Amino acid sequence: MAWTEIGTGFIQSLGSGGGTSNNLDTTGMDFIAIAFGYYSGAHTIIASDITDSAGNTLIEATHITTDDGEGATVTFYIQNPTTSTTHHWTIGVSSIFAAIAVRGWSGSTTSPLDQTNAAGSTGNVSGINTGSITTSENNELIVSSCGSDGNTLLCSIIDLNALQIGIVGGQSYALGLSAGVKATAGAINPSWSPDGTRRMSALVASFKGASTPPSGRIFVVAGNGGGLAGPARGLAGYPSV
């Protein structure tokens, strides 16, 4: 079974002291990615800070802060989760100004995490790369997230379901989450662009799935070490490169 995204997920501001996310119907998902963009000057978010309404334990994929140690981005995942039609996540930590993004797929394998990389900016920048990873298998799911103290965040991964929220004054940092399936094993180095120049932290993780040909609601992406090529019409009417 190939990677197939289920639904479109959600992204939202949780507020300065954290809070409870929106509900998500996770029925049929066997892999869930959960990203946070937040202020790390008061606290570093770890898996045990987060309560999963269905009782799942989150696993950290990778975590990065900016050079000043204030802005941070982290991505967690759940493989083979207990699912729910009203699945949600709660974090109750003071002064973290967090945003959360969640998406889910079917098609993962046991112990799916393969490669990770991450980068935090030194001062304000006009863009950032996560750092290159080289996937070890064909058809791995690439998940990239980015946090900043700005607004628009655009990723080089071509993804019609990409999630993005700008900074909410006094409430949360900006956050973006993009994903795609890399058809052929090799290098990929996603880039993120903000509005203007901003402090940024970005990361990427790849996850192993089934080796059968892709089908259904997915995005097929090819990497050459420096990003992704332009879109073409692909499987089920979605972009592929």
Instruction: Give me the sign of the Cα torsion angle 241, 229, 237, 112.
Output: positive
| Domain hosting residue 128, numbered range | 4-229
**Percent of the chain whose predicted confidence (pLDDT) is above 70:** 87
What total number of domains does the chain contain?
1
Quick check: is 194 in a domain?
Answer: yes
Quick check: is 241 in a domain?
Answer: no
Better pLDDT: 80 or 41: 80
Quick check: is 21 in a domain?
Answer: yes
Quick check: is 129 in a domain?
Answer: yes
Quick check: is 239 in a domain?
Answer: no
Lowest model confidence (mean pLDDT) among 21-25, 38-42, 187-191: 38-42
Separation of alpha carbons 54 and 109, rounded Å: 20
The bridge status of strand 220-221 relative to strand 174-182 is: parallel
Measuring CA to CA, which residue among 7, 98, 13, 100 is closest to residue 52?
100
Residue 73's pLDDT band (cuts 50, 70, 90): very high
Neighbours of 237 (CB within 10 A): 8
Separation of alpha carbons 19 and 15, rounded Å: 7
Q: Report the predicted TM-score, pTM, of the whole model to 2 decimal places.
A: 0.86
Sequence-separated (6 or more) residues with CB below 8 Å from residue 119: 64, 128, 129, 130, 131, 201, 202, 203
Q: Are 14 and 100 in contact (CB under 8 A)?
A: yes
Q: Residues 201-226: pLDDT tens digits?
A: 999 999 999 765 544 444 444 444 44
Q: Are 135 and 224 in contact (CB under 8 A)?
A: no
- DSSP 3-state assignment of 215? coil
Quick check: is 37 in a domain?
Answer: yes
